[in-house]
Amino acid sequence: MDAPDNTGSLNHLADAAALSDSSASESAASQKETSPTDMLRIKQQMSNQCFEMVVHVSAEKSKKSCSTSEAERDLPDYIGELEQAKTAHFNNTLALHRMQMWHSLGEKMKQSDPEAAALKAVNDRCMALCSRIKQLQDETRYLQDEITEIQKNRLEMKRLTHEKMKEMEDLTTKKEQTDTERYKAVLEKGQENLEKYKKMAIMTQNVLRGILLACKVNWLDDPKLREIAMTLEGLPVPD
Amino acid sequence: MAASLNSSESDRSSLGGQSASSRSNNRSLRVAEKERRRNEAEDPFVLALKYFSVVEAGTPVVGNDDFENNLVLVERTAYSQGLSPEAISIMLEFAMSLRMGTAPCARVLKCLIPASVVPQEAVVRAAVWLSVGKIPISTQVLFIKWVLTVFDMIDAKDQLRAIYGFIFSFVTEENLCPFICHLLYLLTQKESVRVYRVRKLLELQSKLGRQPFLLHLLSLYKVFCPELVTLSIPSRMRGAFRNHVSPWKAALTAVQKRNGSLAGSSVSPALAVRDKSGSRKRKHCHLQLPALTSVASDGARSEQTSSRTLVPLAHLQSFDQLLKNVHRIELPAQMGSLLGSSVALQYLDCIQDESALLRLNFWLGCALHEEFLFCGDGATQTSEALQFLSRLLSAQHFLQEGFSSSDAFLYKFLNVWDGSLLRPQILCLLSNIPVIPSSQIRKLLFEPLTQLFFTSSLFFKCGLVECLNNMLLKWLTWHSVYALEDDLDISLNSHTSLNITLSGFKDSVMELIHFVGHLASVGLQLEGCHALLLSFVLDFYETVCDTFLKFGLPLVVMPPAGVFYPAFFATDPVSVDRLAHIMHRYKVNLTSAKRQEKQKEQAFHISRQTFQEFNHCVVFMVNCLWNSRMFYPGSDVQPGEELLLGSGVPRYWASFDFIHHPAFVSYALDFHQKCWPSRKEMDLSSIKDSKPWSWYLDYLFSQGFDGLKDFLKSNISRQAAAVDEQQR
């Protein structure tokens, strides 16, 4: 990019020089004029062309990188198309094959030679089996529907049970709340005291436990210590 | 000596005035008792135990032959039959009190294989010795590992809970920390969660980093007291407590197998899930569901019957009792035992105690990951795994939903499954998975299943299609119950609060249906349209065609070409009849949906494309079967003209109608035989005349092909039928 600018400026200089020269000696300068100016012009052309080529090349590079990611995006579509084509081909082949096969089977069965008789016997058996299968399938369908109904009902029960449990919880908390509202102040004070004493109790328990651990004694052997140590975990009042 | 005793006794009896028979009975009992005691006293094992219980502190170990012999004896008994509870108490006390120094401690711990139960008292004593502090760290670790291994065999847990604080104090020891956290996880109750303990754990976390064992314990604390633990814990944590390599496991299983019957099982018969082989001796193993016991030993609780105390779940015999005590039930220490009892499951389902569910899922996850995956290849191992999975399945079936830990296990297992190990159970477990959001369904479910499907046998393919059919049924049933009119959000699981919107649910269902359609198409092509696979695929589409009317989900998805055409060209009439039935149901669903759309103006709009696909299918079927016009322009099946001409079939356009279709040609021949028995030349196209045609159709319907009947009734209007009726 700098090259054309330079040549541009050189051009100007050259032109200026040419102009300044031309006034001096036209005839002699005409030959001189063509070569440097021409050369400069050619140089500029070439640099322009180079620049265009560079642009082209970089454009093509980016086009290529575009197409790989596009190809990845299009891949599932191509796979789908491929599978559709395969399926269509398979179906066509299947249709043709079945058509031919059963045409010849039908023709065979219309005759009355022993092979045909054997085929007919097999056919009869197939038909009987098909009726039986149909019966069983109907039964299965009926039973499956019943099972699905029962499962739906059970699930409905489950949902109702959960709803009722939630309602019960809400009711009990509401009831507790209404009771407490009457004696709010007293309860709050009582609660505060309780918390305070609980904290003290927990802290004392912690300290005692720490002491026992630090002394590294086996407190199980001493009945009094054991009695104390076994109560260091719980509180008589539920949390 | 016994003989002389006998004679002196008999002398006495002859002198006495009592009846001879009772005297002799008493005498023989006394004699037997005395002999037994003497035998016991002389039994070297008993003598060895006596040695360990009375040996004085400071006795040297090195060069002590007595000690060596007795210990070898104890070890031998331990590895062959296991140690009795008293033996365990004595040996544990001996080891942990360090009476003969630290050297024998580890050795004794390694041989402590219990035969039946482990007395709680012994464990508590040993834990207290631990705090006295002279035991080397590696032995301490060994002891805790031992407690974790035999945790389910400890007869009661109330005293252990009483020394929770003492056990907690060991958490600061870096080497012990993971195992102590595991032990605490098993013992924690709501009352054990204290602010200073949470603080301690958080301190440890800042020192050791976000270790999984700390996170697990904190998550349990959070479930009990969410206000105390403000730390955010990922809901799905990878890796349970790392299962320590347990040197006792192998020996334990060997001993238990040898012993056979389970001693001291406290499961009452009423609580056990209907077990057909109940009289069979159960092998107690690690995959066994633990017995339902109460936290305290039975003796302590039986006196307290006041209304304040909690009733342990193990004491309830029937559903009525559960109802009476429903507000003061105490859950057992081992959550896994709930899976074996229907009353317990019922309770768990109603109450939805988060901590209980968390612990149950944790235990289940451990059992599935560690025990199941690494349970070895022997026949007994597989039968244990089979029993375990069957129990799990019956619990899930009872609750009508799955557990999150079993779902997580399945997603991992599918990637490594070979498709044949315990196939029915795994497929059943798979069908219990709740609705997966459509963004994850591909990665979690479809990719591993696709791999398995295309590399497996025909029977696996059928099994998988059936499993996915069941999964769809369960999702639809769940939706029809839990999606109420107003709510757009459907809860996925009654335990968690995860919700999914209706459109998200529809997306997932559609993905599933498309996936099965794709599997079915390619599967049928691979297996050459095998009739068994086709039958399972048609089962699936029988479910799909009725999603709107039966389950209330506004969704209609047509079968793909890879399923429709193989079903139509099937050689057995049952498949064609089913296809006709499915098409009929599609029509009913579509017309009812259209009607509803006009009347109620709901947001249910079936796309034009669905209608076009449906019409395309129906037109094809009617053209082929009724109009004898196959290969019409616009049909999907169009082999080239030359091929058709070259096939050698005259009138190929009629080759799939009711007379010439591979499925029905034998019926046509039979009908022809019955209708015109005198005719020599069979001319099947004579059935096409109007009267024989209707007779022929009636004949077909009489064979039980209701699907065809419904299909024809709803799609073909026959003026000939009206004429027929007039004639009759």
In this prediction the ipTM stands at 0.70
Distances (CA, A) of B319 to B24, B316, B326, B346: 50, 8, 10, 9
Sign of the CA dihedral running A105, A107, A109, A114: negative
Tokens 């009190």 label which residue? B97
Chain A: give the shortest CA distance to residue B599, in Å.
27
* A contact residues 3-62, partner B, Cβ 8 Å cutoff: none
The half-sphere exposure of B209 on its side-chain side, counting CA atoms within 13 A, is 2
Confidence of residue A32 (pLDDT cuts 50, 70, 90): low
Share in percent of chain A as helix, strand, coil (round to 5): 90, 0, 10
Which two structure tokens, joined as six digits, stand for B305?
Answer: 């019957």
Q: What angle do CA B116, B119, B124 make, to 5 degrees?
A: 145
Give the nearest partner residue to A98 out of B190, B550, B662, using CB atoms: B662
> Does B647 sit within 8 Å of A101, measured CB to CB?
no
Determine the length of chain A.
Answer: 239
Question: Which among B530, B525, B389, B528 has a CA at the least distance from the CA of B459?
Answer: B530
Share in percent of chain B as helix, strand, coil (round to 5): 65, 0, 35
Domain ranges of chain B: 43-257, 289-346, 435-486+499-602, 607-728
Question: Which among B548, B682, B526 has a CA at the least distance from the CA of B614?
Answer: B548
> What is the DSSP secondary structure assignment for residue B290, as one 8-state letter?
P
| Span of A106-120, A182-196, B103-117, B372-386 with lowest mean pLDDT | B372-386
Sign of the CA dihedral running B240, B257, B74, B1: positive
Rounded to an integer, the average pLDDT of A101-128 is 88
Task: Write down the pLDDT at residue B239.
Answer: 55
> By three-state DSSP, how is residue B491 classified?
strand
Chain B: give the shortest CA distance to residue A62, in Å.
32
Which two structure tokens, joined as six digits, stand for B276?
Answer: 């057909």
> Does A154 sit within 8 Å of B569, measured CB to CB?
no
DSSP for B321-333, written as a single string = HHHHTTTSEE--S
Which two structure tokens, joined as six digits, stand for A64?
Answer: 């290529």
**pLDDT tens for residues B312-342?**
666 666 777 777 777 777 776 677 777 777 7
Longest distance between any two alpha carbons in chain B, whole Å: 121
Q: Is A85 on the interface with B (CB under 8 A)?
A: no
Rounded to whole angstroms, the Cα distance separating A197 from A200 reads 5
Task: Write down the pLDDT at residue B339.
Answer: 77
Chain A: give the shortest CA distance to residue B205, in Å.
22
Bridge partners, B118 (sequence order): B154
Chain A: give the shortest CA distance to residue B543, in Å.
10
Task: Write down the pLDDT at residue B342.
Answer: 78
Q: What angle do CA A110, A116, A117 make, to 5 degrees?
A: 115
Tokens 């802290």 label which residue? A203
Nearest CA in chain B to A202: B194
Below-70 pLDDT ranges, chain B: 1-22, 39-42, 233-245, 260-317, 332-333, 370-381, 484-498, 601-603, 718-728
**Under 8 Å CB-to-CB from B591, ≥6 apart: which residues?**
none
Question: Which among B717, B712, B466, B718 has a CA at the least distance from the CA of B577?
Answer: B712
> Does B525 sit within 8 Å of A87, measured CB to CB?
yes
Give the nearest partner residue to B639 out of A92, A213, A216, using CB atoms: A92
Rounded to whole angstroms, the Cα distance separating A20 from A41 reads 19
Which two structure tokens, joined as six digits, stand for B8?
Answer: 């002196």
User: Which positions in chain B touch A106 (Cβ < 8 Å)?
Assistant: 660, 665, 669, 684
H helices present in chain A, as ranges: 2-24, 26-110, 114-182, 184-215, 223-230
Q: Pairing between strand B499-501 and B489-491? A: antiparallel
Task: Write down the pLDDT at residue B245.
Answer: 61
> Does A25 have pLDDT greater than 50?
no
> By three-state DSSP, how is residue B490 classified?
strand
Rounded to whole angstroms, the Cα distance separating B341 from B265 reads 14
Sign of the CA dihedral running B506, B486, A166, A160: negative
> What is the DSSP secondary structure assignment for residue B171, as one 8-state letter?
G
Rounded to whole angstroms, the Cα distance separating B505 from A155 reads 18
DSSP for B393-414, written as a single string = HHHHHHHTS--HHHHHHHHHHH
**pLDDT tens for residues A74-95?**
888 888 899 999 999 999 999 9
> Does B667 sit within 8 Å of A134, measured CB to CB?
no
Which two structure tokens, joined as six digits, stand for B443?
Answer: 């990665």
Task: Write down the pLDDT at residue B516.
Answer: 95
> By three-state DSSP, how is residue B540 classified?
helix
Give the nearest partner residue to A155 out of B128, B478, B573, using CB atoms: B478
Chain A: give the shortest CA distance to residue B57, in Å.
15
Task: Write down the pLDDT at residue B510.
Answer: 93
Q: Pairing between strand B311-312 and B329-330? A: parallel
